[in-house]
Structure 1
Amino acid sequence: MGFTRFALSASAGTDITHLIKLAESHELDAIEVGWRAVTRSAEAELLAARARGISVTTIDLGAVTTADDPRGEFDRLVAFASAASCRRVTLTAAADPNDTREQVRRWFDAMLRELAERCEEPGLSLVVRVGRPAEATSVIADTADLRDVLASVNRLNVSAEADLTAFAAAGEDSDRATASLVGRLGHVRLGDMAEEFPAAVVSGFLADLQSYGYADVVALPADAALPQLLESLGGNVTHDTARVAQLQQTLAENNLDAAVLLSSENVLSISGYWPMNGTCVAIVPRTGDPHLLVPAGEEFWAARSGWHNLHMYQAGRITDPPFATTVDRLLRRLARGGSAVGRRVGVEGPFRAQVPPHMAHEVSGRHEIIRPVVASALDAEVVFFDQALCRSRAAKTPAELRALRRSAAIADVGLRTFRDGLIDGARDIDVATEVERAIETFGVGYQGASRVRGYAFVMSGPQTSQCHLDYEFSSTRRMRTGEHVLMELAVVADGYWQDLSRVFVIGEPTDQQRLLHQTAEAAFQAAARAAVPGATGAQVDAAAREVIDAAGLAEAYPHQTGHGVGIAFHEQFPLLKPGSDHVLEEGNVIAIEPGVYLPGVGGVRNEDNLVVSSSLGAASLQTIPHALNVER
């Protein structure tokens, strides 16, 4: 499975026409060009390719000198970059015969500061790179030089390039060199020697990038044996076109010209990117390309979305404008540029609860201030369309199902750790923290996951009878042989959630505990069989409830049978409860969680996440079975 988006990089002598044809023939949607090759006629050719889906991700200024100062042409470069939706410029510094190395470095740093200011408004980033073998006069020779430039300029829109070939040419260890640039990686190249590296070296290099959070394009040489190279690297990744198409269909059905989305779950749903702190904005027109507004420094993470149109804004400094002003400016620019944002725009309504961004301790609450900005900037009617939005995202796309299977595999590690840690005398809180540790240490890096969290709540003895309430917690209580021990577990991997429960008895269960377990398990299986495309949420709930009622435990089952799960721990559609007319469809991912609870005795609830896909019932994503007890 691939986790990287690749761009085809022009080698010396490769003309732009050939580069575009080569990218199209290998189903790549991104190219990188040298600025000296971007003539006026080439500009028109590149913009025509952009309309066909081939984006220019990077413009390379090359090795610049004091005698060949790029500032004179920078206005034309910025205009072209904006038209082509390009947001990155790479460059290095070269020595001039009349200047010393120190003079070149001082000039280069001063020039970068000036260009960085000029790049803020259009949202461009500057990426400083090591000189390549053909640029023998470069004064930036290794990662130590790159770090010196970053420290001297110290601007968020100035970053460094990691080039596997350049590292090797400089005699540097690629692992250490890449690690030394973490947090300021703005671009990555495999370089002209990509085919000569062992596959394990290249895959390790890409895996490191993923674990460090870099998710932007990786440049491949145009003269490589591309089919074999791409196959060895796991294939190319781009944005989830199926999800964009589903939302655009929803916009058409609701007579909306566009959607402006700010909440973390909706940005994730439409883009595939889980925001860091909840200050990304997705703009999706009814037709045409979507746009994503991201703060400086986060764009290299947000590139995981694969969207062509990322717009970077400056934030965090006392000189930066307020967030609302930034959004207003972007929306007006899009409208002036001809983007079909329209006059009737869907936005998010008031929230009952919010899914946290990666920075879970600081959920952004900026939705209310953005609505009037949308109305003013676009001269638009603002329409709440939360219900339609929730319904449109309920059936998962193949890309979303892959992400959820990955988070399920990570969650299984937590379920297994919980089961194996249940012993007489263990404290609930200690088992819970060990589960969270196991999830995060295993999960980060697993199949490219870069951000993983586990939230485990372990309850033992009579406390398990209260686990259906909204205030679960892990205490210092010590679990004992013969007691129920139940864990409620939430796991998130790059924004895709799992909602799970497991319960076991330590040692030999009593007859009463056997009855509770058998009843809850039979109800779970009945609900899973009933969860077929076309069934209503009420029908699935009734299947579980009938089993529990027949066991004489109706009063012990006070809650609903389940709900949707995916980009939120609890999704609003479909709900599996009495009276629910939500109709299940293929691709829904649902949590099924019937349980029985006897105060003073304990509670039993085993909860899995399942995919609705067959007339035989929903299939579980979990591999850790529902067992009655743990033998010790």
Structure 2
Amino acid sequence: MSATATRIETVMQNLAERNLSQMLVCDPRSIQYLTGAYVEPGERFLGLILAKGAEPMLVLNELFTAPDDCTCTVRPYSDTDDPLALVAELCDADEALGCDKNLAARFLIPLMERGAAARFVLASDAVDDARALKDEAERAAMRAASHTNDAAMARFRELVHEGVTESEVAGQLEGIYRDLGAQGHSFTPIVSFGANAADPHHEPDNTRLAPGDVVLFDVGCRQDEYCADMTRTFFFGEPTNQQREVYETVRRANEAARALVKPGVRFCDLDRAARAVIEEAGYGPYFTHRLGHQIGLDVHEPGDVSATHNAPVEPGMCFSIEPGIYLPGNFGVRIEDLVLVTEEGCEVLNSYPRELTVL
């Protein structure tokens, strides 16, 4: 059985556990995961219909083409056709229809008005749960993407010199990724100098690097469709005592959470382990976000590493460990790695050093 056929079978089992026999998948990355076909439809409708005992059907505008090895039947429509009529035809009106979170209201409401299904149920978790458990090919892809990210970070730091702006540095990153064999960014890179690093999602601007600044890179590439994500914080010049203290606290928090990862440990326990280190050092109020997120075909996938996620981690899950301390108007530090859960523990996908580094 092919990888995509196995994935569809898993999703159908997940649907059955939710008393559903059919689903409409509209998330382009989920469709890619299940069929091998990746399409960005823009404003046009794109949907994969999964139904018990039936061939998967991809409703696709004829402007786009599916690859030859796409493991589904394509039902094309033109710009003058009504794709929702085709969806209604392919669905069982007497059964509930599972829908994913990407089904836009402009499509969902007309389907409801047409009576395309007995009822409509949010069923994204049937696919999300399958995607969370990476198979061997996906694990290899995640390793490769992170290996490239490690190599790229070694080159990114060489771009840093006094007077350079965040934007000037950020503008050179994609070329380095492509030179290393990646497809490009997995998300818009974060390059932060000095006080800007206290904003966890700072967008690179014209701030110039000055002696004494921290330099934060939160970056990732997409390679063979899978995403990498890593953060490292450097110092441009000798750090102050407080900067050293904050950095070492974040490094220890990262280490404490990584050391705890193994099947059966809850996501909230990982968050707690990192947060406890930061709280003990007196910086608890300055760790302002969850510990991490799952990752794969999308850089952020459902199932966060947070205080409210009580589910246990399972082999095949891949997620970030990224504690941080952010002192407004002063500086911030974040250290992020990806971990892949194994049968007995975890594999840390990033090997780039975490020791305090002065540029």
Question: Same fold by TM-score, threshold 0.5 exceeded?
Answer: yes
- Residues 375-394 of structure 1 deviation map (CA, whole Å, 9 limit, x = unaligned): 53744422112344433432
* Paired residue secondary structure (1:443): coil
The answer for the alignment partner of 1:594 in structure 2 is: 323
In the TM superposition, residue 442 of structure 1 has moved relative to its aligned partner by 3.5
Contact 1:516 1:596 in 2 (8 A): yes
- Residues 192-212 of structure 1 deviation map (CA, whole Å, 9 limit, x = unaligned): xxxxxxxxxxxxxxxxxxxxx
Structure 1: tracts of 5 or more residues without a match: 1-52, 54-237, 352-365
The answer for the alignment partner of 1:244 in structure 2 is: 8
Contact 1:432 1:474 in 2 (8 A): yes
In the TM superposition, residue 373 of structure 1 has moved relative to its aligned partner by 5.0
In the TM superposition, residue 395 of structure 1 has moved relative to its aligned partner by 1.6
Contact 1:343 1:378 in 2 (8 A): no
Give the aligned residue type for 1:547: V
In the TM superposition, residue 343 of structure 1 has moved relative to its aligned partner by 1.8
Give the aligned residue type for 2:120: V
The answer for the alignment partner of 1:487 in structure 2 is: 217
Q: Find the aligned partners of 1:367 and 1:405 in 2 and give their Cα distance.
A: 34
Matches within 5 A, 1:489-508: 489-493=219-223, 495-508=225-238
Q: Find the aligned partners of 1:484 and 1:629 in 2 and give their Cα distance.
A: 10
Q: Find the aligned partners of 1:371 and 1:265 in 2 and give their Cα distance.
A: 19
Q: Find the aligned partners of 1:251 and 1:623 in 2 and give their Cα distance.
A: 38
Q: Find the aligned partners of 2:280 and 2:117 in 1 and give their Cα distance.
A: 59
- For residue 267 of structure 1, the aligned residue among 31, 43, 46 is 31
Distance 1:528 1:342, change over 3 A: farther
Q: Find the aligned partners of 2:36 and 2:140 in 1 and give their Cα distance.
A: 12
Q: Does 1:536 align with 2:266?
A: yes
In the TM superposition, residue 494 of structure 1 has moved relative to its aligned partner by 5.8
Distance 1:437 1:402, change over 3 A: same
- Residues 286-306 of structure 1 deviation map (CA, whole Å, 9 limit, x = unaligned): 34432222233532xx32763
The answer for the alignment partner of 2:134 in structure 1 is: 396
Matches within 5 A, 1:44-443: 239-278=3-42, 279-299=45-65, 302-303=66-67, 306-315=70-79, 320-321=80-81, 325-329=82-86, 331-332=88-89, 334=90, 343-349=95-101, 367-372=104-109, 374-375=111-112, 376=114, 378-443=116-181
- For residue 521 of structure 1, the aligned residue among 240, 251, 254 is 251
- Residues 419-448 of structure 1 deviation map (CA, whole Å, 9 limit, x = unaligned): 22122222111111111222234435xxxx
Give the aligned residue type for 1:531: V
The answer for the alignment partner of 1:186 in structure 2 is: none
Distance 1:298 1:398, change over 3 A: farther
Provide the alpha-carbon RMSD of the alignment: 2.7
Q: Find the aligned partners of 1:563 and 1:569 in 2 and give their Cα distance.
A: 8
In the TM superposition, residue 246 of structure 1 has moved relative to its aligned partner by 1.6
The answer for the alignment partner of 1:578 in structure 2 is: 307
Q: Does 1:474 align with 2:204?
A: yes
In the TM superposition, residue 341 of structure 1 has moved relative to its aligned partner by 8.9
Contact 1:541 1:578 in 2 (8 A): yes
Distance 1:342 1:248, change over 3 A: farther
In the TM superposition, residue 414 of structure 1 has moved relative to its aligned partner by 3.7
In the TM superposition, residue 464 of structure 1 has moved relative to its aligned partner by 0.9
* Paired residue secondary structure (1:611): strand
* Paired residue secondary structure (1:485): strand
Contact 1:291 1:307 in 2 (8 A): no
Instruction: Kindly name which structure, 1 or 2, has the bigger radius of gyration based on alpha carbons.
Output: 1
Q: Find the aligned partners of 1:494 and 1:277 in 2 and give their Cα distance.
A: 20
In the TM superposition, residue 239 of structure 1 has moved relative to its aligned partner by 4.7
Contact 1:497 1:565 in 2 (8 A): yes
The answer for the alignment partner of 2:192 in structure 1 is: 459
Q: Find the aligned partners of 1:577 and 1:557 in 2 and give their Cα distance.
A: 12
* Paired residue secondary structure (1:294): strand
Contact 1:374 1:382 in 2 (8 A): no
Contact 1:591 1:608 in 2 (8 A): yes
Q: Find the aligned partners of 1:494 and 1:264 in 2 and give their Cα distance.
A: 16
Q: Find the aligned partners of 1:569 and 1:504 in 2 and give their Cα distance.
A: 23
Distance 1:312 1:563, change over 3 A: same
Q: Find the aligned partners of 2:355 and 2:159 in 1 and give their Cα distance.
A: 15
Contact 2:198 2:330 in 1 (8 A): yes
Q: Find the aligned partners of 1:379 and 1:537 in 2 and give their Cα distance.
A: 36
In the TM superposition, residue 589 of structure 1 has moved relative to its aligned partner by 0.7
Give the aligned residue type for 1:522: R
Q: Does 1:624 align with 2:352?
A: yes
Q: Find the aligned partners of 1:583 and 1:304 in 2 and give their Cα distance.
A: 38
- Residues 259-284 of structure 1 deviation map (CA, whole Å, 9 limit, x = unaligned): 11112233233234332235431111
Q: Find the aligned partners of 1:345 and 1:392 in 2 and give their Cα distance.
A: 18
Q: Find the aligned partners of 2:26 and 2:350 in 1 and give their Cα distance.
A: 32
* Paired residue secondary structure (1:407): helix
Distance 1:613 1:249, change over 3 A: same
* Paired residue secondary structure (1:282): strand
TM-score, normalization by structure 1: 0.52
Contact 2:319 2:338 in 1 (8 A): yes
Q: Find the aligned partners of 2:185 and 2:48 in 1 and give their Cα distance.
A: 23
Structure 2: tracts of 5 or more residues without a match: none
* Paired residue secondary structure (2:157): helix
Q: Find the aligned partners of 2:85 and 2:172 in 1 and give their Cα distance.
A: 46
* Paired residue secondary structure (2:55): coil
Contact 2:35 2:72 in 1 (8 A): no
Contact 2:186 2:299 in 1 (8 A): no
Contact 1:251 1:286 in 2 (8 A): no
TM-score, normalization by structure 2: 0.88
Contact 1:462 1:599 in 2 (8 A): yes
The answer for the alignment partner of 2:289 in structure 1 is: 559
* Paired residue secondary structure (1:524): helix
Contact 1:436 1:455 in 2 (8 A): no
Contact 1:239 1:305 in 2 (8 A): no
Distance 1:288 1:548, change over 3 A: same
* Paired residue secondary structure (1:240): helix
In the TM superposition, residue 586 of structure 1 has moved relative to its aligned partner by 0.8
